[in-house]
Structure 1
């Protein structure tokens, strides 16, 4: 995945000085991405789960395993999902990794409530730690249009942790060169 583009400069914190302010705010915020996106595009978002499967922890990047506190023999869940507008437009494409035993409520693939809103509804105190942010390609995995991405861990008050890698549609989260 491409993590930078010509003309975009990062500080050690990951701030891109040439990005629009709303994009910088989204990438640097340690708060709920869902709430920020809903404010940015002025609509309520839903989640569509595209796939959700148990995986061998050994197949995950070691950094993700370490951040989640997983042994190489654990069986975490890998979820691919998208945040959608009421019209069905994809706002973000997401890769979520979690321990299904520690976060059983997240295993419901039929629930269309985005993670940020679900955590809020559960009154879960949370702290997000940004692991990386920058520029990638939209759609994810393609050689398409430049877009923003954000990778972070959510540490919940019950001790559970959730890893997210979100890639944002440049049609909703602007970047230069789109």
Structure 2
């Protein structure tokens, strides 16, 4: 296993550092990051309550707003328009458990996942009882995440492939008060995104 560096997308303001699964973090966090099933189900087991989604935005965006690496992961490098959804998963006590970004080609997305729906995408997919596979892209700990008060947070990125629809790119950043991880120090001059190649 070795590290590789990839230029970070211009619109990404946080540096993500993947540290594998040997970093000093609780076993529950390591299991969450390593899991290739429904993250929503794992988070509900961790917090002990059902989660609901609050969609902050769901809009069509041109391909120029989507990093080439994501377009390639979706096998959609020639697509001109995508749907970008930004959302939060909330506990029954209204604690923000994660902040998420979902990207897909626009065809059929709104019909399957309307912005007003409070049920997480993970649950909607499970209800269909169709085969699906999650292709892990990266996981680890962010440096100075803008999502949670500039604190280090656990994150994971993956693509959900299903025969019933176009692939979904999912990036999740977890509230460090819920999904614990040891803080990382800022790396001086870091401008790249480092991903651990499995």
TM-score (norm 1): 0.87
1:116 and 1:103, CA in 2 relative to 1: closer, same or farther beyond 3 A? same
Q: Which of 137, 140, 164 is the equivalent residue of 1:131?
A: 137
In the TM superposition, what whole-angstrom CA distance separates every residue of 1:87-124 from its partner, at most 9, and x where no partner exists? 21100000110122143434411110011111001113
Match of 2:163 in 1: 157
Q: Tell me which of 45, 48, 59 is aligned to 1:53.
A: 59
Deviates more, 1:146-155 or 1:101-110: 101-110
> In the alignment, which residue of structure 1 is the partner of 2:16?
3
Give the SS at the match of 1:134: strand
The aligned residue for residue 20 of structure 1 is 26
Q: 2:26 and 2:94 mapped to 1: Cα distance?
A: 25
In 1, Cα distance between equivalents of 2:113 and 2:155: 24
Question: Where does residue 140 of structure 1 map in the other structure?
Answer: 146
Q: Which whole-Å CA distance do the structure 1 matches of 2:78 and 2:72 have between them?
A: 9
User: Where does structure 1 lack aligned partners over 5 or more consecutive residues?
Assistant: none
Counterpart of 1:33? 39
Deviates more, 1:55-64 or 1:36-45: 55-64
- Quote the RMSD (CA, aligned, Å): 2.0
Count, aligned residues: 171
Residue aligning to 2:82 = 76
Query: Which of structures 1 and 2 has the larger relative contact order (alpha carbons within 8 angstroms, sep 6+)?
Result: 2
Write the distance in 2 (CA, Å) between the matches of 1:31 and 1:98: 19
